[in-house]
Amino acid sequence: MTAPTLEARNLYLGYGGRPVVRDLSLSVAAGEIVVLLGPNGAGKTTTALGVSGVLHPQQGTVHWKGEPTRARLDKRARTGTSLVREKRSIVSGLSVSDNIKLACSIDKALKYFPALEPHLKRKAGLLSGGQQQMLELARALGREPDLLIADELSLGLAPIIVQDLFQALREARERGVAVLLIEQHATKALQLADRGYVLSRGHVEHSGTASELMSEVSRIESAYLSDGKAGVKPAPGPGPTPAT
């Protein structure tokens, strides 16, 4: 049986020795979209940072293509990981074309978002928010990664832009990319995904296939995704000792 492209086993992640995410296990296989759902403050971004190599686990392991790894993102990027963070990392003063060239060829980026072609000579900072997100995702996918981690890809964007972004993720899945999508909007994410996990207060509360989670989406949204559930509580007691 082929190992998942990405697997997290019993991860504790946090800052200053205090865990924000506790005992988290998840996996993403090649050609699969897995969504991590949760309200603001549930620990979704901390999870993205931990499984991508930006943040070292306090406890537990991350497995990359079947092997445990503690490599940081810069090394993981060279072996097939792309991370799209919630805060966009485009260079506002450079043209769209030059922004793309920092990551990949223009042809590879436009393969996913041909709508960017008329804007290639325009400064990236003058693009709309949706166009900037297209640029960000085009660069990430244009690198032809084995794994894409996308944190709150649809946040604050118009539905028509979200449709284009999600279509690019479908195309990436068809090309065999493993996709971990971090979202707080359950219904539209589950319509795209193959499987999902629900994170609340730093802990996975529910998981299943997209169809299983969709059948319970009203209960999941009420129980886990409302603002009242958004706060993250540290683990009781001193928590695990941070790795050195």
* Amino acid 36: pLDDT: 97
More confident residue, 75 or 234: 75
Model confidence at 1, in pLDDT bands (50, 70, 90)?
Answer: low
- Closest listed residue to residue 216, CA positions, set 229, 192, 198: 198
Tokens of 235: 């683990």
* Amino acid 136: pLDDT: 96
The DSSP call for residue 88 is -
Say how many C-beta atoms besides its own lie within 10 A of residue 160's C-beta: 8
* Amino acid 231: pLDDT: 40
Sorted by sequence, the CB contacts under 8 Å of residue 78 that are 6+ apart come out as none
* Amino acid 185: pLDDT: 84
Tell me which CATH code domain 1-80+148-158+178-244 carries: 3.40.50.300
Model confidence at 240, in pLDDT bands (50, 70, 90)?
Answer: very low
User: How many whole angstroms separate alpha carbon 219 and alpha carbon 112?
Assistant: 35
* Amino acid 127: pLDDT: 95
User: How many whole angstroms separate alpha carbon 132 and alpha carbon 125?
Assistant: 8
What does the pLDDT average to over 200-229? 86
Say how many C-beta atoms besides its own lie within 10 A of residue 92's C-beta: 12
What does the pLDDT average to over 218-239? 58
Cα 184 to Cα 151, 160, 190, 226: the distances in Å are 10, 18, 11, 10
* Amino acid 229: pLDDT: 40
Tokens of 127: 């693009």
Share of residues in the chain with pLDDT > 90 (%): 80
Tokens of 218: 């009203």
- Tell me what the pLDDT averaged over the chain comes to: 90
- Closest listed residue to residue 52, CA positions, set 67, 68, 74: 74
pLDDT at 121 over 90: yes
